[in-house]
A and B are shown apart, each in its own frame.
Chain A
Amino acid sequence: GAVVSQHPSRVICKSGTSVKIECRSLDFQATTMFWYRQFPKQSLMLMATSNEGSKATYEQGVEKDKFLINHASLTLSTLTVTSAHPEDSSFYICSARGGRTQETQYFGPGTRLLVL
């Protein structure tokens, strides 16, 4: 099956610093990748959609200068949380779709971010 990796799995940083999260599709070419945020006991909230080689499309209310997304290749997308603050602490999940099943998203294992 399609495998998506995410790194790091956990990160703790100081307020004001930037954190980069990587999302990779390991065995397929991901034409589209998605970034979600999940609060405890809630569903996934889509932050942005990125297509390889083009600018990401952000959902309403998500600050694009705060959450920088780069989708430089068909297997890698990165999310950078810039000048992180405690309220950015959350669980971030990426997903990817591509190959034969263009409508199916495969998810990474998630990244737990804690900003002190």
Chain B
Amino acid sequence: AQTVTQSQPEMSVQEAETVTLSCTYDTSESDYYLFWYKQPPSRQMILVIRQEAYKQQNATENRFSVNFQKAAKSFSLKISDSQLGDAAMYFCAYHHNTGTASKLTFGTGTRLQVTL
């Protein structure tokens, strides 16, 4: 079974600085997708970024980028120029497409604090 591990329960970053959240996963599949979701205090889950495993190029979305190391099964999220609104719980998630039965496997989350 696939597992997703987020080893940092909490992280803190100063406003305007850069922070990296780590995520590792375990799978025997070669074709899959990885995601980072953000859950702010409102508890709305927001898609931050996604990465297709078959793409070597790291995904980027504005201030958010990933470091995808397929061989190491690592998928870290880098937040640049951190803003107060980035404070949230961040979940890493894995998806392998097995048709209608496929589902997301979530990590335990990392709580990010942004300080002035």
What is the minimal beta-carbon distance from A26 to any residue of chain B, in angstroms? 14
Question: Would you call B45 an interface residue if the criterion is a C-beta within 8 Å of the partner chain's C-beta atoms?
Answer: yes
Chain A, 90-105, contact with B by CB distance < 8 Å: what is the 0/1 string? 0101010000001111
Residue A109 CB within 8 A of the other chain: yes
Complex contact B47–A31 (CB within 8 A):
no
A93 and B45 form a contact (CB under 8 A): yes
The answer, among A1, A43, A49, A104, for a CB contact under 8 Å with B106, is A43
A window 8-22: CB within 8 A of B:
none
| Residue pair B103, A104 in contact (C-beta under 8 Å) | no
B108 touches A43 (CB 8 A): yes
Most buried by B among A38, A43, A49: A43
A interface: dominant SS = strand
Q: How far is the CA of A34 from the CA of B106 in the complex (A)?
A: 14
Q: Is the CB of A103 within 8 A of B109?
A: no
Interface size band for B: 20 to 34
Among the listed B33, B47, B100, B101, which residue makes an inter-chain contact with A106, where contact means beta carbons less than 8 Å apart?
B47
Query: In the complex the two chains form, is B91's CB within 8 Å of A104's CB?
Result: no
0/1 interface trace, chain A 25-53, chain B, CB 8 Å (1 if under) = 00000011010001000111010010100
CA–CA, A32 and B103, complex, Å: 10
- A102 CA to B44 CA, complexed, in Å: 21
Distance of A46 from chain B, by nearest CB (Å): 6
Inter-subunit contact B107/A91 (CB<8 Å): no
Q: Cα distance A44–B91 when bound, in Å?
A: 9
Chain A residues with CB below 8 A from B100, complex form: 31-32, 49, 51
15 A-B residue pairs with Cβ-Cβ distance under 8 Å, sorted by A, are: A32-B100, A34-B103, A34-B104, A38-B43, A42-B109, A43-B109, A46-B104, A49-B100, A49-B103, A93-B43, A102-B97, A103-B33, A104-B33, A104-B47, A109-B44
